[in-house]
Structure 1
Amino acid sequence: MVRIETPYGPWEPAPLHEVVTLLRGSAAPWWVAGGYAVELAVGRAYREHGDVDIALLRRDQLAVRRLLDGWDVRVAGMDASFPPWPVDEVLPVEAHDIWVREHPDGPWRFQLMLDEADGDEWVFRRDPRVRRPLAGLTVEEDGFHRLTPEVQLLYKARGLRPKDEADFEAVLPVLTAAQRRWLDEALGIEHPAHPWRERLRG
């Protein structure tokens, strides 16, 4: 198990199957994102994970928050206060990264990531010119959904951290021509000189 120390307490990510089991109680759609989404697309484990990312649409936030009644749920990244997220409170648009743990003295167990949508289209939070139909955003995997790898790689492209490069290397051989083309075009909008673009075309 990976343990990461943060100013807000340690991360000890829950096993993915436990998070999936918990969230199956939600009536709103959600999907596995982050490194696990890429690893599931690859079909094998190839690195450790410091967290578990679960994504959902911003418009469905309250349904998932109510499911987590009794948990310690906090908004990360907006300011240093790291505020709690009360049940039935709609978060401001700048809030998109949520940390979740069973109780205030425990380790953080998983993250919720709020995605944007316009009707039946997913909208990339960092650049609304990048869009795709919600119907093609996820893939069903053993009774739950995961984010398609090309969309997850778009999120990962900004930092080029070692783990993001490892994810790109691992999943590149299994990307279809259509997935490579979509990611190349999206990177052309968000990161025109990105080094992954040439490798996607190779």
Structure 2
Amino acid sequence: MPEEIREPWGDWDPAAPAEAAGLFGACGVPWWIAGGYALELFAGRRLRAHADLDVLLLRRDQLAVQAVLGGWQWWAADPPGVLRPWRPGEILPPAVHDVWCRPGAASPWRIQIMLDDHDGDDWVSRRNPLLRRRIGEIGLLGTASVPYLAPEIQLFYKAAHPRPKDESDFAAVLPLLGDVRRRWLDDAIAATYGKAHPWRSAL
């Protein structure tokens, strides 16, 4: 959900990646820390403050969230920006990519679930279905074996409509990307957002 329409839905007190790992570590399906925290795990240092914590799962595994966060409230972000309760056992429609989660009605939001698509053993970008990677190759392991989304994929998502924090993340992480990751990111941006995208000159 865009940040400019998040405020009416309540406060956030984002969980730390280690807390998310404690919750999702035994869920039995692949999951990854995403968003700005994923880039921090890759960089190995603090980059900035965070308004939320993103955890990415494949759409096929969405009901694992309800099992892992049993007793919590789960609210689906239905486009174009409305939160509504996610019913137990409900399979979310393809247009819903985000779920906000909190321990109870009086609690702040702690975790935002991101749902990405797949085709067999391949991760498929929801921004461009021609972009595919083997599911086992879209993540890395950080400190204490916390899985996180590969930086080139996270930056690809941030490149759609870069905000100041996205520009800051890109500048901080770019020097750490090797040739293979840079090349993938450059090709993905060109194919999805156009050859004139400003980030491509730095890649």
TM-score bucket of the superposed structures, by smaller chain = over 0.9
- Stretches of structure 2 that go unaligned for 5 or more consecutive residues are none
Q: Distance in 2 between matches of 1:49 and 1:76?
A: 19
Is 1:196 equivalent to 2:189 in the alignment?
A: no
Aligned residue pairs total 197
* 1:69 match: 70
Shift, 1:136, TM fit: 1.2
Instruction: State the TM-score, normalized to the length of structure 2.
Output: 0.92
Is 1:186 equivalent to 2:180 in the alignment?
A: no
Q: Does the 8 Å contact 1:56/1:115 carry over to 2?
A: yes
Equivalent residue runs for 1:1-202 within 5 Å: 6-78=7-79, 81-141=82-142, 142-192=144-194, 193-200=196-203
1:113-153 deviations in Å (ceiling 9; x for gaps): 00100011111101111111212100112222110000000
1:9-58 deviations in Å (ceiling 9; x for gaps): 11111222212211113111101000011111111112111110000000
Letter in 2 for 1:31: W
Q: Distance in 1 between matches of 2:184 and 2:106?
A: 43
Q: Distance in 1 between matches of 2:42 and 2:133?
A: 19
User: 1:82 aligns to what SS in structure 2?
Assistant: strand
Identity, in percent, stands at: 48
Shift, 1:107, TM fit: 0.6
Q: Give runs of ≥4 in structure 1 deviating > 3 Å.
A: none
User: 2:172 aligns to what SS in structure 1?
Assistant: helix
Letter in 2 for 1:196: W
- Stretches of structure 1 that go unaligned for 5 or more consecutive residues are none
Letter in 1 for 2:49: E
Q: Distance in 2 between matches of 1:194 and 1:152?
A: 16
